[in-house]
A and B are shown apart, each in its own frame.
Chain A
Amino acid sequence: MEEGKVYSPDGVFAHLAMLEAQAHEAAVKQEEKEQQEEKLARLKARVQELRAQRDELRAKVDLQQKGQLGKEGVVSDPAQPSARAVVEWNIKRIKAMLQVFYLTGISGKLTKRGVCFCISTAYEGTYLDSYHLDLLTKPEEVQIHRHSIPIFIPLEQIATKYLQTDIRRFLAVLSDHLNAYVGRRYQADQLQEHFSNQIEGTLQRNSLCNLLVFNYNVSKKSQTFPFNARLLYGDLCCSLPTEVIVSCTPDAPASLAARAAAHSDAFRRVALHKAFRSFGSAAESVDGAP
């Protein structure tokens, strides 16, 4: 151990303890000083604020006296809006613009090597999933670097057709596919959720939700499911079926068989769960009629 230059009567540890205590005191003092300074700064800022307010009110009073007060509140200071107000207004405007872009469904952000697109989907007012596409813009071609598009959407096919030649079309077509897919899925989910007692078991569907098969009934209380529906969605960009086959069990009464055609038509025209809702009300009105 080295010989210290300072020998204290109680030993090295005591010396260290003393040094620590000194350092602690100094730190406490420093902290106090800083707190004082902070407080001072805050008070100064407050003074500024109050002064600004006072000026504002003064200006208002002046104008009022001169009788130039038109609409209330707009007068504040036409000549020189404060810098802060300008910044705030700009921020609001940009946020609104980003929100608009987000609402259109396709928004993008430039990255170091390209663009990253976000495709947001919705169906009849309900916002559903968002999907991302990270594109690299090289001089000769555009490449898909990463993405979160579901595997059953024919991304590669769409990209081969449009990505190099017309990016806008590529995004539009992809967006159509995705929106239609979530729309079909939403309808099937809604049907399963709200009309489960009118459907036998669960809906038979597939990943793309472009083929739905189920047995159903129009009344909530019956135990049989005389109708069989088979919906084919031939157009992947469409959330309504292209082909509908509604059939009845052979032993069903003729009245039901007649209604099958009406159902088939309804499925082709309106959303699945809405069609079911209309069946329900139609059935009630029929039953209620004398």
Chain B
Amino acid sequence: MDETVAEYIRRTVLKIPRDEIKTMLEKWGFLSETQLQTVNFHQIKENISLDVVQLCEENSADIKQAAVLDIIYNHIYPNKRVWSVYQMNKRGEEMEFFDLTDFKKKFKRRLRSALKNVTINFREYEDNAIWIRIAWGTPYTKPNQYKTSYAVYHSQTPYVFISASVLRSNLPLLCQALVVASNYHDIREMELRSHSLNSLKDIVFKRYSQNFQTYYPRPLQERNVALESADPRIVQESRNEKERIQRVNREVFGDGPQPKLEFAQYKLETMFKSDPKMDVLDKKEPFRCLVKFSSPHLLESLKSLAPAGMADAPLSPLLTCIPQKARNYFKIREKKGFFPGSFVSP
């Protein structure tokens, strides 16, 4: 077995939390049940990884199997990477059958014709997600397994989720291969980025909770009864207002959990509006300003702003339009009222 492959497997195993190593190796399926039983998974990770490498040596693992282990790791811990969303366009209206084998073939052929030294691996999952792992080399060097890009594509959708590596120069190659393999015409990057891959999917596939008005009987929401059983001598002076805020909040955000985004960025290119007497800027130029909201869970915190009394309800549409517009990077130019910047042309 190649030294580099052994080292790569060892480092991949070291990344996995100790309690999860056994399960992940079972998912991998490369080592047999009997082989796994010979490993003591309670020792320190350093030793576990060495034992695993030893077993892989017995089975003569090659880079392909090692890559599969890497995909499995990234599939279970996708939040360690930053994912961007790309949108593809096609001009025709023909319905595609989307044959998986066809897709894989076209992708590999296209990518390899541009750059021979790449390792390409695919893995399909039950939700119709196709995970593609690419390790990049150069025309003169072998692929570097530690510089990988991941692309996740759901068939017959125009969206691809890409976690590029440090080598952004290879991105156009990847995009081209995706477009060709999926029978689209062009691709552009959307202004939507997050660590949480599933939340990005929820946003563009419209799987997040939207509050639709219907007669369909929904289970009644339990009111927060704890508030009302407090000391009867305490009177809620602004009960109506509180209820209005709850209602407005629910209309905007829906009842369910929000997709998980870490930040929203607003690039302002608007004129600074000040008291004319102050004459702060004698040159009438746009005042460039960048506003960035960060949070471990941005949308949930926005949802709790009004009920916590920190903001007026309804919130600014600039904040609440994020899931619907499927973007968390905005450019605000000078226009009447609010108008988020138009798409940057591809």
Whole-angstrom CA separation of A217 from B126 in the bound complex: 22
B210, A148: Cβ atoms closer than 8 Å:
yes
Whole-angstrom CA separation of A199 from B283 in the bound complex: 73
A210 at the binding interface (Cβ < 8 Å): yes
> Which residues from 175 to 223 on chain A have a C-beta closer than 8 Å to any C-beta of chain B?
202, 204-208, 210-211, 213
- What 10 additional pairs, Cβ within 8 angstroms, besides A148-B207, A211-B98? A107-B216, A116-B212, A116-B214, A132-B214, A134-B212, A151-B157, A204-B101, A206-B97, A206-B100, A207-B157
A98, B95: Cβ atoms closer than 8 Å:
no
Whole-angstrom CA separation of A34 from B334 in the bound complex: 62
A102, B216: Cβ atoms closer than 8 Å:
yes
Shortest Cβ distance from A156 into B: residue: B93
B123 at the binding interface (Cβ < 8 Å): no
Whole-angstrom CA separation of A114 from B95 in the bound complex: 31
Whole-angstrom CA separation of A207 from B207 in the bound complex: 15
- Number of chain B residues whose Cβ lies closer than 8 Å to a Cβ of chain A: 28
B293 at the binding interface (Cβ < 8 Å): no
Whole-angstrom CA separation of A210 from B210 in the bound complex: 28
Identify whether the interface residues of A are mostly helix, strand, loop, or mixed: mixed
A80 at the binding interface (Cβ < 8 Å): no
Whole-angstrom CA separation of A47 from B213 in the bound complex: 42
Interface membership of chain A positions 155-188, coded 1 if the CB is closer than 8 angstroms to chain B and 0 otherwise: 0010000000000000000000000000000000
B110 at the binding interface (Cβ < 8 Å): no
Interface membership of chain B positions 210-224, coded 1 if the CB is closer than 8 angstroms to chain A and 0 otherwise: 101111100000000
Whole-angstrom CA separation of A234 from B96 in the bound complex: 9
Interface membership of chain B positions 222-242, coded 1 if the CB is closer than 8 angstroms to chain A and 0 otherwise: 000000000001000000000
A29 at the binding interface (Cβ < 8 Å): no
A151, B158: Cβ atoms closer than 8 Å:
yes
CB distance from B211 to the nearest CB of A (A): 9
Whole-angstrom CA separation of A213 from B98 in the bound complex: 11
Specify which of B154, B207, B214, B233 lies most central, judged by the most chain A CB atoms within 10 Å of its CB.
B214
- Given A151-B206, A154-B95, the answer on whether A111 and B156 have CB atoms closer than 8 Å is no
A98, B100: Cβ atoms closer than 8 Å:
no
- Given A206-B128, A206-B155, A207-B155, the answer on whether A109 and B214 have CB atoms closer than 8 Å is yes
B324 at the binding interface (Cβ < 8 Å): yes
A207, B212: Cβ atoms closer than 8 Å:
no
A132, B215: Cβ atoms closer than 8 Å:
no
Shortest Cβ distance from B103 into A: residue: A206
Q: What residues of chain A lie closer than 8 Å to B160, measured between beta carbons?
A: none
B205 at the binding interface (Cβ < 8 Å): yes
Q: What residues of chain A lie closer than 8 Å to B210, measured between beta carbons?
A: 132, 146, 148
Whole-angstrom CA separation of A120 from B210 in the bound complex: 16
Shortest Cβ distance from A209 into B: residue: B128
**How many residue pairs between the two chains, A and B, have CB atoms under 8 Å in the bound complex?**
80
Chain B residues proximal to chain A, CB less than 8 Å = 93, 95, 97-101, 124, 126, 128, 154-159, 204-207, 210, 212-216, 233, 324
A7 at the binding interface (Cβ < 8 Å): no
Shortest Cβ distance from A132 into B: residue: B212
A118, B100: Cβ atoms closer than 8 Å:
no
The 8 closest A-B pairs by CB, nearest first: A206-B155, A132-B212, A152-B156, A206-B98, A207-B156, A211-B97, A118-B214, A207-B128
Whole-angstrom CA separation of A207 from B157 in the bound complex: 8
B213, A111: Cβ atoms closer than 8 Å:
yes
Would you give 25 A-B contacts (Cβ < 8 Å), ordered by A?
A101-B215, A107-B214, A107-B215, A107-B216, A109-B213, A109-B215, A148-B207, A149-B206, A150-B205, A151-B158, A152-B154, A152-B155, A152-B156, A202-B126, A205-B128, A206-B97, A206-B155, A206-B156, A208-B98, A208-B155, A210-B97, A211-B97, A213-B99, A232-B97, A236-B95
CB distance from B230 to the nearest CB of A (A): 16
B215, A98: Cβ atoms closer than 8 Å:
yes
CB distance from A238 to the nearest CB of B (A): 12
- Given A204-B100, A211-B98, the answer on whether A151 and B204 have CB atoms closer than 8 Å is yes
- Given A118-B214, A134-B212, the answer on whether A208 and B156 have CB atoms closer than 8 Å is yes
- Given A146-B324, A151-B157, the answer on whether A118 and B95 have CB atoms closer than 8 Å is no
Q: What residues of chain B lie closer than 8 Å to A228, measured between beta carbons?
A: none
Q: What residues of chain B lie closer than 8 Å to A107, measured between beta carbons?
A: 214-216
A147 at the binding interface (Cβ < 8 Å): yes
CB distance from A188 to the nearest CB of B (A): 11
Q: What residues of chain B lie closer than 8 Å to A264, measured between beta carbons?
A: none
CB distance from A191 to the nearest CB of B (A): 14
Q: What residues of chain A lie closer than 8 Å to B95, measured between beta carbons?
A: 154, 210, 234, 236
Q: What residues of chain A lie closer than 8 Å to B156, measured between beta carbons?
A: 152, 206-208
A151, B212: Cβ atoms closer than 8 Å:
no
A130 at the binding interface (Cβ < 8 Å): yes
CB distance from A237 to the nearest CB of B (A): 11
Shortest Cβ distance from A118 into B: residue: B214
> Which residues from 234 to 271 on chain A have a C-beta closer than 8 Å to any C-beta of chain B?
234, 236
Whole-angstrom CA separation of A149 from B97 in the bound complex: 19
Shortest Cβ distance from B130 into A: residue: A206
A211, B99: Cβ atoms closer than 8 Å:
yes
Q: What residues of chain A lie closer than 8 Å to B99, measured between beta carbons?
A: 206, 211, 213
